[in-house]
């Protein structure tokens, strides 16, 4: 135990040498124990540097010494892992948020015209005959009104659909494949989730879906749908699958 404690103290000393010029005397590696001690110090420093952008080395040493001596511990031992995990999760969330903000900015720079085109299309479409608009901004036309039941968010439905960009480019079509699709209402894009719950089984609607109710700035990479695309779907609700 004494040897382990000595090794740990050497590790801590080496970790903070760059910030405390008088704290450690540089030594050469003469024995196997010297090499192990130095290697442990390097490994700890590497992991700390990789995991923490902000780090109070003085408190790090204080926590180490207090725990080693079992004296003046400022945090209950049972809470230590939770504090570390909470911090790491917060850092990861902030990293993901920053990455998403950067990706969104880049998408807006590259596909801003796409966003404007969709907004213009929907603004002009809203006044056309038969077009209804929901509070969310979803636009639709009733092509055929069915008489069956209306699905709920938790329902499974069987549909035929034909999807295009606003320029008419087809990106997906069960009609073209000649085979209807089945899926849960809550498993699709927000515009579909809302639109399907407006329909009765046997109905056929045409949806004009704003980009924010479709795939927004991040559609599937390499697909026909581009960032900020407003989408047009003809959807026939064949049945609610029991």
- pLDDT-derived band at 2, boundaries 50, 70, 90: very low
- pLDDT-derived band at 177, boundaries 50, 70, 90: very high
Residues serving a catalytic function are: 161, 171-172, 189, 215, 233
Return d(Cα 208, Cα 235) in angstroms, integer: 11
Same domain? For 13 and 66 the reply is yes
Last residue of a domain, one of 25, 57, 74: 74
Same domain? For 120 and 209 the reply is yes
The H-or-E segment that residue 230 falls in is: none
Domain total in the chain: 2
pLDDT in tens, 54-109: 777 788 778 877 887 777 888 888 888 898 889 889 888 999 999 999 999 999 99
Contact between residue 200 and residue 147 where contact means Cβ atoms under 8 Å apart: yes
* pLDDT at 68 (0 to 100): 75
Whether the predicted pLDDT of 8 surpasses 70: no
User: Per the domain annotation, does 97 fall within a domain?
Assistant: no
Distance separating the N- and C-terminal Cα atoms of the chain: 66
Last residue of a domain, one of 51, 74, 97: 74
Cβ neighbours of residue 240 under 8 Å, at least 6 residues apart?
148, 149, 151, 155, 156, 157, 158, 201
Q: Looking at 8-12, 78-82, 83-87, 233-237, which range is the least confident one?
A: 8-12
Same domain? For 232 and 117 the reply is yes
Same domain? For 130 and 193 the reply is yes
User: Per the domain annotation, does 132 fall within a domain?
Assistant: yes
Crossing angle of helices 32-51 and 2-15, in 10° steps, is 50
Tokens at 132, concatenated: 């209804």
Same domain? For 125 and 230 the reply is yes
Phi, psi values for residue 140, rounded to 5°: -155, 155
Can you give the length of the chain in residues? 242
Same domain? For 133 and 191 the reply is yes
Q: Domain holding 143: CATH number? A: 3.10.50.40
* pLDDT at 1 (0 to 100): 42
State which residues form the domain around 182. Answer: 111-241
Whether the predicted pLDDT of 127 surpasses 50: yes
Whether the predicted pLDDT of 10 surpasses 50: no
pLDDT in tens, 186-231: 999 999 999 999 999 999 999 999 999 999 999 988 899 999 999 9
User: Per the domain annotation, does 159 fall within a domain?
Assistant: yes
pLDDT in tens, 14-60: 455 444 444 555 788 889 998 988 888 788 778 877 777 777 778 87
């Amino acid at each position: 135990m004494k040897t382990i404690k000595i090794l740990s103290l050497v590790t801590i000393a080496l970790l903070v040498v760059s910030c405390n010029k008088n704290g450690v005397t540089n030594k050469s590696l003469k024995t196997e124990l010297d090499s192990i001690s130095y290697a442990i110090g390097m490994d700890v420093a590497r992991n700390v540097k990789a995991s923490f952008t902000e780090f109070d080395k003085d408190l790090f040493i204080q926590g180490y010494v207090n725990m080693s001596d079992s004296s003046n511990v400022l945090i209950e031992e049972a809470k230590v892992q939770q504090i570390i995990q909470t911090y790491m999760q917060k850092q990861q969330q902030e990293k993901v948020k920053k990455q998403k903000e950067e990706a969104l900015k880049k998408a807006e720079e590259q596909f801003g015209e796409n966003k404007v085109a969709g907004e213009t299309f929907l603004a002009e479409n809203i006044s056309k005959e038969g077009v209804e608009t929901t509070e969310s901004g979803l636009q639709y036309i009733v092509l055929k009104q069915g008489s069956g039941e209306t699905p709920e968010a938790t329902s499974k439905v069987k549909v035929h659909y034909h999807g295009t960009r606003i320029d008419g480019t087809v990106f997906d079509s069960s009609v073209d494949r000649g085979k209807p699709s089945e899926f849960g209402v809550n498993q699709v894009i927000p515009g579909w989730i809302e639109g399907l719950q407006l329909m009765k089984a046997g109905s056929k609607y045409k949806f004009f879906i704003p980009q924010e109710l479709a795939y927004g700035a991040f559609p599937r990479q390499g697909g026909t749908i581009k960032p900020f695309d407003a989408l047009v779907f003809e959807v026939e609700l064949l049945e609610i699958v029991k």
